[in-house]
Structure 1
């Protein structure tokens, strides 16, 4: 990116000016709301069939787990297959799988297997979408575009789960799954006719798995890029702890249902405010310079849980932690600067897969830890570990000054 572009404030309309990006944005919004609503419906369907809270929770775990599988073993697809074809194929595959899940009499084991396959296709779709953005958007519009996709992901989580609950008051879980299938058909159509076909970058021959693992080794061999990726995964891994433990913390502090709702909404609302404020108030160069303090903002409020705050105090801490999401803006700029051009598509696919996997892992680790230790202890420990990780993984200085750590 040029220095001129670096010092120019970037705006969401820079990204939305691209017709191709508008198609990608609309497709993601429709697909994510459909997937979130269907995930909720599937947990209900599994619980009704088995009465098992563990199997019901496993549905959401299986939605995250494939991101590690796809990131490690399928990331080379973004270089081997033209990205538009890859994205539309993934959308249509999810539509077929969702329709299969809606079949009457589908055994629970079959449902869980199909959930895993849906997650795998969704992870490849996310990697393809990340890889195509630098081709669709100018340097000035790239970070606003990434920010908009993060915003729609936050909104889709809230709307999707809310829509899932509302839908199940008027339709069956199987009908909700068919609606997911329809949503992904619409998303495929938007991508097919709203974006331009571009030739594949040309990945290596032979096994997709071997090529993917080799690509990951190449990506992680670039020290500044490796630090960028590790920081981008470590912060959400630990920052998600209080959000994952909202229910047990509310029980620990004897909160009402309304107070629980306040806590559940606080961090996503902070993320929305942070994204908008960061884009509006900070130039790109400041976004990069502030990566460390803003990443620390995602974690420092977690230390306040040691004081066992009430609903208002805990909600404020969660809101402040959510605003720290701004550090992703600077990391997006930094990643584009330090990634060699031949590795860019692969690096973006790996980054996306890792982010989703480690967020899911954070939820699982938080839940496991809270089985043995009070939430008011688990969350501050996560915050302290996260702050140490930020210091360790802070962006490396220019190559001539780079140290040998990591």
Structure 2
């Protein structure tokens, strides 16, 4: 927080989150008021996940081919422009949902560019890891307080008026990023560092004519996914959350089965984010960088084991403890962040970060959907316990692959140095 540019990014991140949360609640209520349909109201939330893969795949090239500050400010302005028509009384339901999709398409480009910019602001070392952790903590904290505050807000103003607050937060975020961060040239125009065996290389030199954005985005995704080390690290970011969201997706039926009502539901929804915040705070404040990297793979192998406790149909207190313990295991991402930024070359960093974000959001949506399908046949507790078994096995396999690629890349570096 002593770095002025990071303070601007941090404040803009908090404002953007506030705007997104207010818009999600307001849109859900607005769509239900317009249609009277719970399905359409739920679809509004789903549309916040599904288009991520479109923006993250087809528009990722923007993160590297244009100056980062320009991309960030433009994304905020586009989001504000999308929300304005939603706030007008004449906007039909089809337009509202289409604009909701547009917001979700822009979001991964914004988030990926911001993540890559952190490495420019804080460097590639420990400050980058701690900065990323702080932004994740803000995101998790927003889940705890944002929806409650949004619900209170809607008792005072109408959903359409609440959307005007979202417009204001996007505009304030754009202002902070425009005047609080320094202009830097596009990554694709920078002189690349000498290529090593640990990173995928770009296929064209910065001086070659620019490809169309779509082709550049797809080529960047292919380059990122073609490298075994980077591909394994991406899977380590994606696969554990796909299983970890299962108890949250099934919190409502489990709270009903326990007879704990809305209070129990709220506690079950909060437990995992609280555990995540606690784990990241402890790892960031008390563990040295080398220790965080050393414990990353053991943590990811253990973080889903608490879900096995659901096989014994735990009560509310025991369930909360299991979720808190599992959430704390998310601290593995601090070590993973350092490996990832070291494995991806600078001129591909924006596209890699955008792909990471898009995949993470998409696969969490897939995990929630699969949890619902499995629970229809196996029940809630068996589904959560099964997620613990399958998730732990998947994480262990990925940890072995990550260790193997690390050893191989290290050997390649030694031969290159020799």
Which of 264, 269, 282 is equivalent to 1:264?
Answer: 269
Query: Which stretch shifts more, 312-321 or 63-72?
Result: 63-72
Hey, what does 1:73 align to over in structure 2?
A: 58
Hey, what does 2:172 align to over in structure 1?
A: 186
The 5 A counterparts of 1:144-159 are 144-159=130-145
Question: Partners in 2 of 1:372 and 1:134 — Cα distance?
Answer: 46
Q: Deviations over 1:62-100 (max 9, x none)?
A: 111122111111111011111101100110111111111
1:287 and 2:279 are equivalent in the alignment: no
The 5 A counterparts of 1:6-25 are 16-25=1-10
Which of 3, 11, 28 is equivalent to 1:43?
Answer: 28
Hey, what does 1:101 align to over in structure 2?
A: 86
Hey, what does 1:11 align to over in structure 2?
A: none
Alpha-carbon offset, residue 400 of structure 1: 5.6
Hey, what does 1:370 align to over in structure 2?
A: 375
Question: Partners in 1 of 2:227 and 2:409 — Cα distance?
Answer: 14
The 5 A counterparts of 1:136-151 are 136-138=121-123, 139-151=125-137
What 5-or-longer segments of structure 1 have no aligned partner? 1-15
Question: Partners in 1 of 2:52 and 2:409 — Cα distance?
Answer: 35
Query: Which stretch shifts more, 394-403 or 222-231?
Result: 394-403
Hey, what does 1:85 align to over in structure 2?
A: 70
1:132 and 2:137 are equivalent in the alignment: no
Alpha-carbon offset, residue 339 of structure 1: 2.2
1:57 and 2:42 are equivalent in the alignment: yes
Q: Structure 1 residues 19, 61: CA separation in 2 closer, same or farther (over 3 Å shift)?
A: same
Question: Partners in 2 of 1:158 and 1:33 — Cα distance?
Answer: 12
Secondary structure of 1:243's aligned partner: helix
Q: Deviations over 1:262-285 (max 9, x none)?
A: 212111111111110111222111
Hey, what does 1:399 align to over in structure 2?
A: 408
TM-score by length of 2: 0.89
Question: Partners in 2 of 1:158 and 1:351 — Cα distance?
Answer: 24
Question: Partners in 1 of 2:217 and 2:179 — Cα distance?
Answer: 29
The 5 A counterparts of 1:142-291 are 142-202=128-188, 205-291=210-296
Question: Partners in 1 of 2:168 and 2:228 — Cα distance?
Answer: 43
Alpha-carbon offset, residue 359 of structure 1: 1.8
Aligned residue pair count: 388
TM-score by length of 1: 0.92
Secondary structure of 1:65's aligned partner: coil
Alpha-carbon offset, residue 40 of structure 1: 0.7
C-alpha RMSD over aligned residues: 1.6
Secondary structure of 2:378's aligned partner: coil
Question: Partners in 1 of 2:256 and 2:382 — Cα distance?
Answer: 15
Hey, what does 1:13 align to over in structure 2?
A: none
